[in-house]
Amino acid sequence: MWFNSSCTSAKRRRLLGAALLCAFMAAANATAGVADWRALLPQAQALGGGDMTWFGLRIYRATLWSASRPFDAAQPFALQLSYYRSISRERLVRTSIDEIRRLSPAPLPAPTLTRWEALLNTAFVDVADGDELTGVYLPGSGMRLYDRQRLLAEVNDEALARAFFDIWLNPDSRDQRLRQRLIGAQP
């Protein structure tokens, strides 16, 4: 027995209460920081997807999730990227900022780009073959980024969120075929 016979009933209850409190706190700490992006989009379905390639090399598989069909970029959605290759966080940030700059209809102010780069640098992680990152667009607030089901960052900058997802969804995106597949316009 974990207590001796000299323990009173009150002492046993306090010990049991303390043990239960410790167990509860351990369980709460184990789930802290864990979040499921699907809870934000419970009705979401995969609209489409395809591989992003560069000179014939597969970089990642992209899947667009949304509750609205046809796709409506003004509604919440998720873009899931399943990587085939290792890419450093620095390269992901640099490539994202370069594409945001390229797609912008007007030159973006240097302080804005610097702030966005810092936000992405904080939010992104290095990726390897088999990793899965998901970005969830939340109109009116910004985006949340997940590593599988673990919340990496909440970015409360709607302009950055729109510019970031434009990398894949803008009519002038670098891979038009992938864009068409993502939004379900092409099989």
Tokens of 112: 């804005």
- Say what the pTM is: 0.80
Write the DSSP symbol of residue 37: G
Give the model confidence (pLDDT) of 72-109 as tens digits. 999 999 999 999 999 999 999 999 999 999 999 999 99
Q: Percent of the chain scored above 90 by pLDDT?
A: 76
Residue of 170 and 16 predicted with greater confidence: 170
What is the pLDDT at residue 8? 53
Instruction: Tell me which fold the domain 40-182 belongs to.
Output: Chalcone isomerase (3.50.70)
Residue 78 · residue 139 · CB < 8 Å: no
Q: How far is CA 118 from CA 9, 34, 102, 108, 160, in A?
A: 57, 23, 18, 15, 11
Residue of 165 and 15 predicted with greater confidence: 165
Q: How confident is the model at residue 149 (pLDDT cuts 50, 70, 90)?
A: confident
Q: How confident is the model at residue 36 (pLDDT cuts 50, 70, 90)?
A: confident
Give the model confidence (pLDDT) of 150-162 as tens digits. 999 999 999 999 9
∠ Cα 82 88 94 (to 5°):
100
**Model confidence at 29: pLDDT above 70:** no
Q: Give start-end residues of each CATH 3.50.70.10 domain in the chain.
A: 40-182
